Amino acid sequence: MKRTIFPGSFDPITLGHVDIINRALPLFDEIIIAIGINADKKYMFPLEKRKQFINETFANEPKIKVETYTGLTIEYCKQKNIDFILRGLRNPADFEFEKAIAQTNRKLAPIETVFLLTSADTSYISSSIVRDILRNNGNIDGFVPKSVINN
């Protein structure tokens, strides 16, 4: 069974995340959307709300589970016996950053990182941009799934 995790803060989940997850579904038997918890980080949405957004978005997809974790992603993978980490790439800067993490992870454990390029329609979307739009009372339609909009 091929299992992967897609780690992130998902504050909030965006259509870019949804695109990567949907395109990874044929590649894996199970995708765990793993919400990382960092006590030092200030989130716009509480953890339970972020989980709710994801669960609602993928309510009809049995291959997807939503979990939370603290600490290193690689340690979480070891605990869950997962061999793959899924990551989306929007631009060259993402690649350089993610490549360094993937190489470090490979040094620590035999876990492969699978990169998918975002679709052209969603490559400009980031959670931080969505949060900025929300802070300024802007319209986030077209950036996030309905579960976030209906919040």
Write out the catalytic residue numbers. Answer: 17, 41, 90, 127
AA identity, residue 56: E
Nearest to 16 by CA among 96, 107, 125, 142: 125
**Element of type H or E holding 64:** strand 64-70
Q: Residue 30: enclosing H or E segment and its boundaries? A: strand 30-37
**What number of CA atoms fall less than 13 Å from residue 87's CA on the CB side?**
20
Q: Is the separation of the CB atoms in 112 and 76 below 8 Å?
A: no
Q: In what order do the strands lie in the sheet containing 112-117?
A: 64-70, 30-37, 3-8, 84-89, 112-117
